[in-house]
Structure formats: C-alpha cells, structure tokens
Structure 1
Amino acid sequence: MQLNTQTKMTESIKFNFNKEVESIKHKLALNAEEIRKMEELKLGAYVDFVRASSGIAMAQRFRDKESEHQSMALLLDSKIRIGIYGDSDVAKAVGEFFEEYGNFTKLEDRRAFTNLMLTMRNNALGSIQDCDRRSISQILFSEAIESELETTA
C-alpha cells in the first residue's frame, strides 16, 4: 500500500515537473520571439536613418526638393524609432549629432556622422565585426576621414 502511494506521488511530481518545464519553455520561446521582433525594429530604424540621411544628401546635391522632403519625413520617423527601439548609446549619438552638427557641410560634421555610423555598426554587429573609420567614411562620403586624434598627432 505504501509503495503504491509513493508511486502515485512520484508520478504526480513528475507530471507537475514536466508541466512546469513546458510552461518555462513556452515563456522562453515567447521571450525569444519578442527579442527578435525588437531587434528587427531597431535594425530597421537604423537602416531607415542611413537611407534617409543619404537621400537628403543626394536630394540637396541635385536640388530635388520633393525627394528632400520625402527623405526628411523618413529621417524624422527613423529618429523617433531610434529613440524608442534603439540602444541607448545609439540614441545618444543620434541626439548629439543633431544637437552639435546636423549636416555634412564641414569636415567636423562628416567626422561626427562617421562616428555615429560606427556606433550603429558596433551596436548592430558587435565589436567582433569592427571596421575602421577610414573605410566607413570612404563608403559614406567618398572621403577618408581620420579621427580628430589622428589628425592632430
């Protein structure tokens, strides 16, 4: 009789344990999906920010006001999404760029934007995918821009 009660208790414990394990697995799967969606929103905001920035630069270069306005709208939208979904270091870098620079007319502006792009890249890919400033500035502006420290040394 006691063996039968122990067996029932053991089966009950196993059942409850398995039920709890399944519940934890389900919650982890939901959390993983939420994290994936948030990462997708964040990276989408970063990509749209770069797309809008380049669109503005091109529209200004060719004096295309309609394209410039469309790109400005995309820029505003992407900045808002970076503020919501972006990591704090990227949101801070975007805010600082627009507070201190906001365009690409001077070397310091382009240097600051290159730094912003490096921050986004590091945030999105991690330092394992590190890229040098000269390469990024060459891609962005067809100009090799050194850091302030490199130009003063």
Structure 2
Amino acid sequence: MDSILIFVVPVIGLCGVIIGALIQAFFNRKNQKVSHLTELQNKSYADFLNAASKIAIAQRNNDRKEVENELANLADAKSRICVYGDSFVIRQLATFLRAGGTLQTEQEILAFTHLCIQIRNSVGLSDKNLISQDISQLLFSIDVKDTKTP
C-alpha cells in the first residue's frame, strides 16, 4: 500500500501542475487576444477621428490635395472599424455617413458627436453626465442640440 502511495502522490502532483499550466496558458492566450483586439479597435477609432478632423480642416482651407490624402486614411480607418469595431460604433458611423459625412451641416455634426460618444462607450468611458453639447463644443466650438431644427 505504501509503495502505491509513493507512486500516486507524485503523479497527482504532476497532473495538478500540468493542468494548472494548461489553464494558465489558455487564459493567457485569451487575454492576449482580447488585448490585441482592443488595441486594433482603439487604433482604428483614433485614425478615423484624426482623418475626419484633418479633412474638415482641409475643406475649410480649400486644400484639395490634403483632402485627397486624408480620404485614403479615412477609408482605411473605416474598413478597420468595420472589421474590428464595436457593433454600436459601426451603426453610429453608418448614421454619420448617411447624414452626409462631411461635418458641414448641423445634422452631420450631431451625428459625428454621437459617434464620438459611442466610441467613448465602446472603450469603457461611459459617462451618463456627458452631453452631446459638450462634445460638439470641444470638437467644433458650437453647441449642437439633439433636437431637429425646423
């Protein structure tokens, strides 16, 4: 009986170590995958916002060459958002583009503001006290309200 215990105890310990290592490797791999996806999402969101801002400035300055350069960056960021982005962000991005996507009208600015809020929610910055007027003020120096204009 003692000879069996001498053999069984180390085997059980070894099995525990192996199972623990496998579980740790599984969760580590899963964590890395989620972390990489989050990084891809954040980069695509930032690249989109950066390109959209540069296009808006270039349009106001009548700099057609800069607009053309940034349109390629914008298209790239949009495609990455379609692949890696949160579904609510994709839906709000589509709403912004349906509104015109140029940041020239109040409706477009409001849709872009909602897109920014949705991106904040997607990355975990959900703040119930933040209103769209504050975002539009920061981005465009105007207060856009969530009501339709006549």
Instruction: Mark yes or no: TM-score above 0.5.
Output: yes
CA–CA distance in 2 between the matches of 1:130 and 1:84?
A: 30
The equivalent residue for 1:24 is 23
CA-to-aligned-CA distance 1:51-107 (integer Å, 9 cap, x gap): 011011001011111110111111100000000011111011112221233222221
The equivalent residue for 1:10 is 9
| One-letter identity of the residue aligned with 1:62 | N
Total equivalences in the alignment: 150
Compare 136-145 and 97-106 and name the one that shifted more.
97-106
The equivalent residue for 2:109 is 110
The equivalent residue for 1:143 is 142
Go from structure 1 to structure 2 and tell me whether the alpha carbon gap of 1:130 and 1:5 turns closer, same or farther (over 3 Å shift): farther
Aligned-residue offset at 1:28: 1.4
Go from structure 1 to structure 2 and tell me whether the alpha carbon gap of 1:92 and 1:59 turns closer, same or farther (over 3 Å shift): same
| One-letter identity of the residue aligned with 2:141 | S
Aligned pairs for 1:63-102 (under 5 A) are 63-102=62-101
| One-letter identity of the residue aligned with 2:27 | L
Aligned structure 1 segments of 4 or more residues deviating by more than 3 angstroms? none
Identity of aligned residues (%): 28
- Identify unmatched segments of 5+ residues in structure 2: none
The equivalent residue for 2:119 is 120
**2:47–2:73: 8 Å Cα contact kept in structure 1?**
yes
| One-letter identity of the residue aligned with 2:64 | K
Aligned pairs for 1:47-58 (under 5 A) are 47-58=46-57
Go from structure 1 to structure 2 and tell me whether the alpha carbon gap of 1:130 and 1:45 turns closer, same or farther (over 3 Å shift): farther
| One-letter identity of the residue aligned with 1:50 | L
- Identify unmatched segments of 5+ residues in structure 1: none
Of Structure 1 and Structure 2, the greater helix share is in 1
| One-letter identity of the residue aligned with 1:56 | I
Question: Alignment RMSD, CA only?
Answer: 1.9
**2:133–2:145: 8 Å Cα contact kept in structure 1?**
yes
Q: TM-score, normalised by structure 2?
A: 0.91
The equivalent residue for 1:39 is 38
SS in 2 for 1:127: coil
Go from structure 1 to structure 2 and tell me whether the alpha carbon gap of 1:129 and 1:77 turns closer, same or farther (over 3 Å shift): farther
CA–CA distance in 2 between the matches of 1:11 and 1:129?
A: 56
CA-to-aligned-CA distance 1:97-124 (integer Å, 9 cap, x gap): 2123322222111111111111111111
CA–CA distance in 1 between the matches of 2:94 and 2:107?
A: 16
